[in-house]
Amino acid sequence: MAASANPQFQGAKDFMRLAEEAAVGSGTGGFTVQGIFLPYWVLSIIGLLILIAIFIVASLVFGHGRKRRRTFDEEVDEAEQQATQDAQRIREMEASERERWAQQPTLVPLEPSNAPAAKDTSNPTPAVTKPIATSAQLCPNCRGPVALGAAFCPRCRAPMVASAAQSQSGQQPAPQPISQPVPIGSIMDQPTVGLPPSKRNGQGDAEKTEPYSRRQLRARPLALSVVTRTNRGIKRQHKPNEDSLFAALLGRMAGAIPSQIGLFVVADGMGGHANGQDASRLAIQTIINTIVPRLMVEMGLQGTDFKQLLLDGVQNANKAVHQQNMEQRGDSGTTMTASLVVDTTAYIANVGDSRTYVYREAEGLQKVTQDHSVVASLVAAGIIKPDDIYTHPKRNQIYRSLGDRPVVEVDPFVVPLQVGDKLLLCTDGLWDMVRDPQIEEVIRSAADDLEQMGDALIQAALDGGGEDNVSIIVTHLTDNVQAVQHGFHLIYMPDGVQLPPLG
């Protein structure tokens, strides 16, 4: 009314405009930004679109991660299945070789006649056992007869690399007559062969350590210096150490001359961190319960007695771990390499891929034991090269360990030693991170400083990646017999392991 009566009157128009804006704002809600009115429903749509976009991006990222995880799991399952098949194939091959050997003609030496023979003074040549020729070859490790074409020795399980190469080339080795059976007795009566020449100056395979060959020596007492080291590694530094070590010396008198015996054991547990640690420690506890009391009491043990004592200790350790698995329905296990050093002889037993080496200055580093792993069998069969064991996807797969079966097959070795020799026992945490030539260089550089040598070996494993627990025992043989102390001397024992009564 006022506006129609007086067009110059603006109050009424302003009032109507404000009323209309108030009505619109009260109906939808919102706010004004730089003169632009944004209702709340528009803001809700924008927020919803943003949430939808975030959800889509998150779904894509999560789906891609699940796809990668599923692909990785499938690859792991495929590798596990393949490793199981390879291990089964190796067992079948070993069983076939044992059966093949059982079917070979038996070597029977001619029995001497009980009737006294007349002396033939015209022929001064002494009588010998008549040889019985057969299609056989000699094992390069134990020197026992092996059937032609066999991949492994039926006694010591050493790979017959030469025969494998000859079978591939189509050439059959000439039959070797065997004049007499392999004698059983003292190590000094066993047939021996010389060490192969050291492969240096770039000749030969730098990454392949030749097995240690036996050499006949005169036994005499030596003194032992020992160093032990263990480390969780870099990638497992916050997890339990699955490795376990034991080292001890027993000094006693052999007549008027002091004599020393050393017991050294390295075990690498498997089956999960806590279970692996329990398995390796149980194996250590059992082997020292078997061996140490007899060493303390029985003074008349001879060469074959020491060898059998060590084998009994390893078998008892296997039974203990296997029994624990049966009781707890577990699948834990452990590797083990053990040595009983008596004067100038080292009796060695091995199961799994922990290793024992011998270092001699003239010949360098020599590997004594054979790995019971899939890759080692592939190398022995000529399928892969020795260098491939460090990068092969199945390099951690072993087919023999303590605790898997009630009875385990143990590889025994008898190694004569000399003054200055060094015996190295280690888990795969060392040799898998450090190649054999580098291990040899560390030992050579440290000379007779065992403490420095132990630290350098551990540091080399850490510098190489430190992907696993690493443990070592280094023993140095000297002629300082005056340093031999009488009685039992513990050098290293893991926590939770106790010494048996030392009567």
Report the pLDDT averaged over residues 444-459.
94
Residues 218 and 468: beta-carbon distance below 8 Å = no
Q: How far is it, in rounded angstroms, from Cα 361 to Cα 471?
A: 23
Q: Please state, in angstroms and rounded to a whole number, the distance separating the CA atoms of residues 278 and 432.
A: 23
What is the reported pLDDT for 376? 86
- What per-residue confidence (pLDDT) applies to 214? 42
Greater confidence, 383 or 338? Answer: 338
| Spatial contact of 267 and 354, defined as CB atoms under 8 Å apart | yes
The pLDDT tens digits for 4-63 are 555 555 665 665 665 555 555 445 566 676 677 777 777 788 888 998 999 898 888 888
The whole-number pLDDT of residue 141 equals 62
% of residues, the chain, pLDDT over 70: 64
Q: What is the CA radius of gyration of the chain?
A: 36
Most confident of 64-73, 205-214, 460-469: 460-469
Rounded CA separation 492/245 (Å): 7
**What would the two tokens of residue 340 be?**
């009983």
> From CA 201, how far away is CA 179, in angstroms rounded?
40
Per-residue b or e along 223-251, where b marks 16 or more CB atoms closer than 10 Å to that residue's CB: bbbbbbbbbbbbebeeebbbbbbbbbbbb
User: Looking at residue 447, what is its pLDDT?
Assistant: 83
Instruction: Tell me the pairing of strands 345-351 and 333-342.
Output: antiparallel
Structure tokens at 442: 């560390």
Whole-angstrom Cα distance, residue 175 to residue 134?
Answer: 6
Q: CATH fold of 223-492, please?
A: Phosphatase 2c; domain 1 (3.60.40)
pLDDT at 67: 79
Secondary structure of 254-323 in HEC code, one letter for each residue: ECCEEEEEEEEEEEEEECCHHHHHHHHHHHHHHHHHHHHHHHHHCCCCCHHHHHHHHHHHHHHHHHHHHH
Match 């944004």 to its residue by tokens: 38
97 versus 430: which is more confidently predicted? Answer: 430
- Name the burial class of residue 435, with classes exposed (0-12), middle (13-18) and buried (19+) by CB atoms within 10 angstroms of its CB: middle
- The position carrying tokens 């560390």 is 442
Report pLDDT for 494. 95
What φ, ψ does residue 451 adopt, rounded to 5°?
-60, -45
Q: What is the pLDDT of residue 19?
A: 56
Q: State the pLDDT at residue 402.
A: 96
Q: Which residue has the higher pLDDT, 199 or 455?
A: 455
Alpha carbon 336 to its chain centroid, in Å, reads 8
Running DSSP on this structure, what letter comes out for residue 158?
-
User: What is the per-residue pLDDT for 117?
Assistant: 43
H-helix or E-strand spanning residue 439: helix 436-446
Q: Are 143 and 190 in contact (CB under 8 A)?
A: yes
Q: Which pLDDT band holds residue 323 (cuts at 50, 70, 90)?
A: very high
161-174 burial by CB neighbour count: b if 16+ within 10 A, else e? eebbebbeeeeeee
Question: 3-state DSSP call for residue 433?
Answer: coil
Structure tokens at 413: 């070795």
Average pLDDT over residues 264-289: 92
C-alpha–C-alpha distance, residues 339 and 425, integer Å = 8
Confidence class for position 300, pLDDT limits 50, 70, 90: confident
Sign, CA dihedral 435-159-424-219, equals: negative
> Per-residue pLDDT tens for 110-153?
444 444 444 444 444 443 333 333 445 677 666 666 666 666 66
For the chain, residues classed under CATH 3.60.40.10 are: 223-492
> DSSP labels for 345-374?
EEEEEEESS-EEEEEETTTEEEE-S---BH
Average pLDDT of every residue of the chain: 77
Q: What's the distance, Cα to Cα, between the start and end of the chain in Å?
A: 126
Report yes or no: 296 and 502 within 8 Å, Cβ to Cβ.
Answer: yes
Q: Find, among 401, 394, 390, the residue nearest to 431 by Cα.
A: 390
**Nearest-angstrom CA–CA distance, 414 and 368:** 9
Has residue 474 got a pLDDT over 70? Answer: yes
In the prediction, which pLDDT does 434 show? 96
**Burial tier of 213 (Cβ tally within 10 Å: 0-12, 13-18, 19+):** middle
Average pLDDT over residues 150-161: 59
Compute φ and ψ for 356, nearest 5 degrees. -125, 130
pLDDT above 90 covers a percentage of the chain that reads 42
* Position with higher pLDDT, 38 vs 320: 320
Comparing 129-143, 165-179, 245-259, which segment has the lowest mean pLDDT? 165-179
What's 44-60 look like in SS3? HHHHHHHHHHHHHHHHH
Residues found in the chain: 503
Asked whether 356 and 350 are in contact (CB, 8 A), the reply is: yes
Is residue 83 helix, strand or coil?
helix
The residues with which 364 forms a beta bridge, in sequence order, are 360
pLDDT score recorded for residue 194: 35
405-409 contacts at long range (C-beta below 8 A, 24 or more positions apart) = 405/318, 405/322, 406/318, 406/319, 406/322, 407/315, 407/318, 407/319, 408/314, 408/315, 408/318, 408/351, 409/157, 409/351
Instruction: Tell me how far the alpha carbon of residue 12 is from its chain's centroid.
Output: 98
